[in-house]
Amino acid sequence: MKIICIGLNYRKHATELGRPLPSEPVVFLKPDSSILKNNKPFFLPGFSSMIHYEVEVVVKIGKLGKGIAEKYAHRYYDELTVGIDITARDIQNRCSAAGLPWELSKCFDGSAPLGRFVPVSSAGDVGNLDFRLEINGRMVQHGNTSDMIFGIDHIVSYVSQYFTLKTGDLIFTGTPSGVGPLRKNDNLVAWLGSEPLLDMMIR
Ligand code: MG
């Protein structure tokens, strides 16, 4: 399976990173070894001194598809959750400044913690989903999918022009503003609407 991620998909987040707004989705991949499930702890790696959280809505593909039209995209995902696109911001900044690929900053072990998946049918309107991240009981990020530059159906359609989507593939759909550093012993709780779907520790 593959994990497709969308970068810079919320205006205020692009602004906080000092990047121009994208005119097409910004796409990168994470390997399956980045997945962290069942609220397991994330261990801060020694190769970075600036590990950031990015809470995101994550869509699970439920059906094989390629070249999917946007109006049919909703048929190709059946479950959602919240996840964290953990990023070594110091490495990403270094790679970006040099015009190099940034995989080392985004794809390391454990860099894709996932919450418990819920059916799309119970989550409500995917174009108007509220989600947030609390660290040690304090809200640090709050987003709504209505603020995405590229909505979920557009993303599914767009990436399927390039990659065959397979059952079980995941799409991280971008983070709202408020990203910041993770520290040892932080407790992260990520919510989709009124449901806390992820509750994990940083070690
Ligand atoms: Mg991200």
Question: What DSSP assignment string belongs to 53-65?
Answer: E-EEEEEEE-S-B
Q: How far is the CA of 124 from the centre of ligand 1 (A)?
A: 23
Q: How far is the CA of 29 from the centre of ligand 1 (A)?
A: 11
Helix ranges (DSSP H) in the chain: 11-16, 89-97, 103-106, 120-123, 152-160
Size of the chain, expressed as the number of residues it contains: 203
Q: How far is the CA of 92 from the centre of ligand 1 (A)?
A: 12
Q: How far is the CA of 63 from the centre of ligand 1 (A)?
A: 24
Please report the pLDDT score of residue 71 as a whole number.
Answer: 98
Q: Tell how far CA 168 is from the center of its chain.
A: 15
- The one-digit pLDDT tens for each residue of the chain (203 residues) are 999 999 999 999 988 988 899 999 999 999 999 999 999 999 999 999 999 999 999 999 999 999 999 999 999 999 999 999 999 999 999 999 999 999 999 999 999 999 999 999 999 899 999 999 999 999 999 999 999 999 999 999 999 999 999 999 999 999 999 999 999 999 999 999 999 999 999 99
Domain count, the chain: 1
Q: How far is the CA of 12 from the centre of ligand 1 (A)?
A: 13
Q: How far is the CA of 11 from the centre of ligand 1 (A)?
A: 13
Give all strands (DSSP E) within 24-148, no chain letters: 26-30, 35-36, 51-53, 55-61, 77-84, 87-88, 112-113, 118-119, 130-135, 138-144
Q: How far is the CA of 16 from the centre of ligand 1 (A)?
A: 13
Please report the pLDDT score of residue 17 as a whole number.
Answer: 86
Predicted model pTM: 0.97
Q: If you ran DSSP here, which 8-state letter would residue 71 be given?
A: G
Asked if 9 contacts 158 with a C-beta cutoff of 8 angstroms, the reply is no
Q: How far is the CA of 75 from the centre of ligand 1 (A)?
A: 24
Q: How far is the CA of 79 from the centre of ligand 1 (A)?
A: 19
The Cα–Cα gap between 142 and 130 comes to: 8
Q: How far is the CA of 53 from the centre of ligand 1 (A)?
A: 9
Nearest Cα to Cα of residue 65 among 153, 137, 132 = 153
**Structure-block tokens of residue 3:** 């994990």
Please report the pLDDT score of residue 14 as a whole number.
Answer: 87
Please report the pLDDT score of residue 76 as a whole number.
Answer: 98
Q: Which residue has the tokens 């039209």?
A: 69
CATH number of the domain where residue 49 is located: 3.90.850.10
Q: Which residue has the tokens 């989507």?
A: 165
Q: 121 lies in which domain range? A: 3-201
